[in-house]
Amino acid sequence: MSARREYDTAILVAFAAALQIAESFIPYPVPGAKLGLANIATMLALMRFGPGAAVTVAFLRTIVASLVLGTFLAPPFFLSLTGALGAALLSSLVYVVFVNAKRPFMSSIGVSVAGSVASILCQTVVAALFFVKTTALFSIVPYLVIIAVVTGWVNGYIAARMISSHRYERFIAVISGAMRPEALSASSKKPAMRPVLSVIGAFAAAVILAVSDAPLVGAAVAVIFIIYAVVLRVPLRALFRVLRKSILPIALFSFAAFLAANNGAVLAVIGGFIITQEGVSIAVKSAARLFLLSFNAMLLMRAVKSEDLVAIAVRCVPPIPVVRKHLMPMAHAAALALVATPHAVAAIRAEVNKMFSR
């Protein structure tokens, strides 16, 4: 990847991350039923630079957005990552086979719809297997697919209009002006041992919480988190802030698990809803798991700066020429996008204010 392509990729990553950050402030009544505005940037990358750029933008924008929002390794990060990669991979396949063929018979809107459906399916699988831990969650997939078709059509239409009208160039100019080459030198510095150990511990805790379903394991992880929070001198209000940010996804996922699990002894019937012992157990466990994962993300972002996380990622690239040839440009693009994303958010906010002021 050339230096010019690194900058182009970083610009699209910053644009996608800004869209994802802007969308995070929009409340949604159904888990997973989001507009997926960041997929617009993925579609732009696919139509301008090809499948490789689309997958790279989808992967990096979830990381950059989570670092800005402070949700790295939290449940929304894993859902966003799997959904973004699923959408980018299927969109790329459909684009190559049906759009970029000698006789294309599908528009970019159809590609976007396919990616949107893939995104919701991937997120549902991850939520069912690792967060709620019940396959009964698949019962709401048909409703989510209908929403995905609608949002995919909207995003595909917007991406096609941005390409044809060159409106996206306004955002590109702002983001390009915010690029700071010194971000590359900062990402190449050797990180201290404490941030490295914090990242390893956070990854280990996330894996344990996702895999284990034992209450004692969850309790032990919670105790470790509390001790670490005391060491970091995390104020109590920060813990309540995590709880406040997590309360909506926790409530929605727990409620979905609560309704989806119809097995076990019936405890009560309220307004046509059957409350079972299994449903209550799954809801409580999933709520605790989601809160602990959010707590883990908060501790990580308290202990490690975003720049250090990028530097650690660069250091983790193995010294194999073929691997470094592909991964180092991605790390450089992430470092550049991390600096430019706040400017991209400001540009989007200004554009939205301009639209509503007319």
Please write the tens of the pLDDT for every residue from 194-244.
888 888 898 899 889 888 878 898 899 999 988 888 888 888 777 677 666
Q: Please indicate, yes or no, if residue 81 is contained in any of the structural domains.
A: yes
CA dihedral (234, 239, 240, 242) in degrees, to 10, reads 130
Same domain, 172 and 221: no
Q: Which long-range contacts (CB under 8 A, 24 or more apart) does 310-314 make?
A: 310/186, 310/187, 310/334, 310/335, 310/338, 311/186, 311/187, 311/188, 311/189, 311/190, 311/191, 312/191, 312/195, 312/196, 312/199, 314/187, 314/188
DSSP conformational letter for 137: G
Indicate the pLDDT class of residue 85, thresholds 50, 70 and 90: very high
Is residue 140 located within the same domain as residue 239?
A: no
Confidence of residue 118 (pLDDT cuts 50, 70, 90): very high
Q: Residue 273 has what pLDDT?
A: 62
Tokens of 326: 């592909």
Q: 41 with 144, same domain?
A: yes
pLDDT value, residue 181? 58
pLDDT of residue 158: 84
Mean pLDDT of the region 189-194: 75
- Using the 8-state DSSP alphabet, how is residue 246 labeled? H
pLDDT score at 131? 77
- pLDDT of residue 86 exceeding 90: yes
In this prediction, residue 11 has a pLDDT band, given cuts at 50, 70 and 90, of: confident
The answer to whether position 311 is within a domain reads: no
With beta carbons less than 8 A apart as the criterion, state whether 339 and 178 touch: yes
- Predicted confidence at residue 255, as pLDDT, reads 60
Statement to judge: residues 61 and 76 lie in one domain: yes
The two tokens of residue 204 are 């280990």
Considering only 72-76, 147-151, 197-201, 243-247, which range has the smallest mean pLDDT? 243-247
Judge contact between 12 and 58, C-beta under 8 A: no
Do both 146 and 245 map to the same domain?
Answer: no
End-of-domain residue from the set 284, 306, 328: 306
Q: Which residues contact 120 (CB under 8 A, 6 or more apart)?
A: 32, 83, 141, 144, 145, 147, 148
Residue 306 or 45, more confident:
45
181 and 264 assigned to the same domain:
no
Query: Which is higher by pLDDT, 257 or 8?
Result: 8
Number of domains in the chain: 2
Place of tokens 């010194």: 182
The answer as to whether 129 is a domain residue is: yes
Is there a single domain that holds both residue 38 and residue 148?
Answer: yes
Q: What CATH code is carried by the domain that includes residue 71?
A: 1.10.1760.20
pLDDT (average), residues 141-159: 88
Using a pLDDT cut of 90, give the percent of the chain over it: 8
Residue with more model confidence, 254 or 317: 317
Dist. CA 221–CA 61, nearest whole Å: 29
186 and 200 belong to one structural domain? no
Residues 44 and 106 in one domain: yes
pLDDT in tens, 280-323: 777 777 778 878 888 888 888 888 877 777 777 777 766 667 66
What mean pLDDT, rounded, does the chain reach?
Answer: 77
**65 lies in the same domain as 133:** yes
Q: Which domain holds residue 353?
A: 3-190+316-357
Q: Which residue has the tokens 């980018």?
A: 88
Whether 229 contacts 201, CB under 8 Å: no
In sequence order, what DSSP letters do the residues of 75-100 get, joined into one string? HHHHHHHHHHHHHHHHHHHHIIIIIS
Classified as helix, coil or strand, 180 is: coil
pLDDT of 1 above 60: no
Q: Does residue 245 fall inside a structural domain?
A: yes
| pLDDT in the model for residue 282 | 72
